[in-house]
Structure 1
Amino acid sequence: MVNAQHAHTEQHLTSSAMLQDIVIGLSDGLTVPFALAAGLSGAVQSSALVITAGLAEVVAGSIAMGLGGYLAGRTEIEHYASELAREHREVRDIPEAERAEVDELLADMGLSPATRAAAVRELTADPEQWVQFMMKYELGLEEPDPKQAPKSAATISLAYALGGLVPLSAYFFTSTPAEGLGWSAVITLLCLLVFGYLKSRMTGQPPVWGALKMATTGALAAAAAFLVARQFS
């Protein structure tokens, strides 16, 4: 008989960085081109024009989103390197102040004075271990993966492009922008509902509420763009 204590398996969300990048790319990719296509549908009478402008936006948007993801990743790396260098300087130049900070952090964890004293001696005996402890527990920083920036750029860019093609797909098979908008709204809102549901399930949020929130955001953006374009057309 298997002991219940050993049978327990913890389930945690893995690859959170990639999931976050996919969510960013898909959510914007489904919403922004949908709103643009809806706005154009209220102002022009050519499906070809909607498709051309929509594809141009998808290309430009995927590049911009990918570049934003890359720059965010590089900024995280540079920030970590800057803070790491500062901690090394402080450990070298003001060790007593840093030891006091270690003791304070251990006190916040609930350790007794005797245990803290032994732990401080152990942690500060190795400068590298000391610095890593301060980075993690004082600053709350984990060393970022140097390969994450290009990975984020590629993931966000691809997710945005795939998401952006969804609302435009209807215009390839309809004769007028109004007809294309109707089918685009059905397809895109269904995708937003499914995407919002799955995203909320994976992140531990209420899935039905997440699905409705995602679809409502897309619908409001498209409706606003359509009404503005119709008003000024």
Structure 2
Amino acid sequence: MTKTQKAIRSSGWRTDLMIGFPDGVLLLLFTTQILYSKNLTVQAFYTLHFIVLGVATLLMMIAVFRANRGEEDEGVMTPEEAAKLRNLDLSDPTIAHIADEMQKDQAQWEATLQAEEVPLRDFGLRHAIRSTLLTGGFFLLGGLIAFVPFLMQEDFSVAGRTSLVISILALVVFGWVKSRITGQRIIALTMRYLLTGSVVVLASYLISSVI
């Protein structure tokens, strides 16, 4: 008998929002704050960020679908994957280290799900596809919040400040919304996202200053 797999997203659009939206904001806030002051043409800046946003959204959707599928060997290196690594002339200790890191990442992911109180449900293709599309849509929306000011204003110094303010406000509002959905303390949650946004901005400034 085939074992019924479990999906990790079972609370519908709320969980998809919590997973997709903040990552989209933070990623595009990070890249735009690094690159807007660099010697790029307006078109090159736009093209680069459309590519970043499109590829990142696709990767997010793939990860969400795989997570919803609840693969039995998820977090464990398969023999096929190990064989591919050996074909790259990687040593057995290196492959063993990679496998160990995969298991650690899986354990951390499961701990996050438990902390966020995300229940499990039987896998369903329709649910998985819907969750994939919604998470991708929320991720794209978050990214556009940080990116759209640059599309509306070709003075990137002004657009950069506008994007920064709007993105931080969006994260604060998101923290409030998430607190209402999950029942967590509003001040602690909004401060967490405010701090996360501040760290991203600081990291982007430091990286921008050395490249």
- TM-score band (shorter)? 0.5 to 0.7
Contact preservation (8 Å) 1:36, 1:222: no
1:38 aligns with 2:33: yes
2:210 matched to 1:226?
no
User: Structure 1 vs Structure 2: percent identity of aligned residues?
Assistant: 24
2:188 aligned partner, one-letter code: W
Structure 2: runs of 5 or more not aligned: 1-9, 74-118
What is the distance in 1 between the residues matched to 2:154 and 2:168? Answer: 21
Q: State the Cα distance separating 1:179 from its structure 2 match.
A: 1.7
How far is 1:141 from its partner? 6.6
Alignment of structure 1 residues 1-233 onto 2, 5 Å: 16-44=11-39, 46-74=41-69, 76=70, 78-79=71-72, 142-232=121-211
**Alpha-carbon distance change, 207 to 48 in structure 1, aligned in 2, over 3 angstroms:** farther
Contact kept, 8 Å, 2:14 with 2:181, in 1: the verdict is no
Structure 2: how far apart are the matches of 1:56 and 1:142? 34
- Give the 3-state SS of the residue equivalent to 1:147 in structure 2: helix
Asked if the contact 2:24–2:139 (Cα under 8 Å) also holds between the matched residues in 1, the reply is yes
- 1:222 to partner: Cα distance: 2.5
Quick one: structure 1 residues 186 and 142, their matched pair in 2 at CA, closer, same or farther if it must change by over 3 Å? closer
Assess if the C-alpha contact under 8 Å between 1:35 and 1:223 holds in 2: no
Give the structure with the larger helix fraction.
1
> How many residues of Structure 1 are paired with residues of Structure 2 in the alignment?
157
* Residues 212 and 44 of structure 1: CA distance in aligned 2, closer, same or farther (over 3 Å): farther
Distance in 2 separating the partners of 1:200 and 1:216:
16
CA distance in 2, matches of 1:211, 1:37: 23
- TM-score, scaled to structure 2: 0.67
Provide the TM-score with structure 1 as the length reference.
0.61
CA contact (8 A) 2:20 2:136 kept: yes
Larger-Rg structure: 1
Deviations 1:25-67 (A, max 9, x none): 1011111011000010243354443332222111111111001
- DSSP 3-state at the match of 1:205: coil
Alpha-carbon distance change, 221 to 145 in structure 1, aligned in 2, over 3 angstroms? same
Kindly indicate whether the alpha-carbon contact (under 8 Å) linking 2:24 and 2:140 is maintained by their aligned counterparts in 1: yes
Cα distance change on mapping 1:48 and 1:180 into 2, 3 Å: farther
Contact conserved, 1:42 with 1:226, CA < 8 A, in 2? no
Structure 1 runs not aligned, ≥5 long = 1-14, 81-139
Contact map agreement 2:42 2:154 (CA 8 A) in 1: yes
Counterpart Cα distance in 2 of 1:171 and 1:164: 12
Classify the secondary structure of the residue corresponding to 1:16. coil
Name 1:109's counterpart in structure 2: none
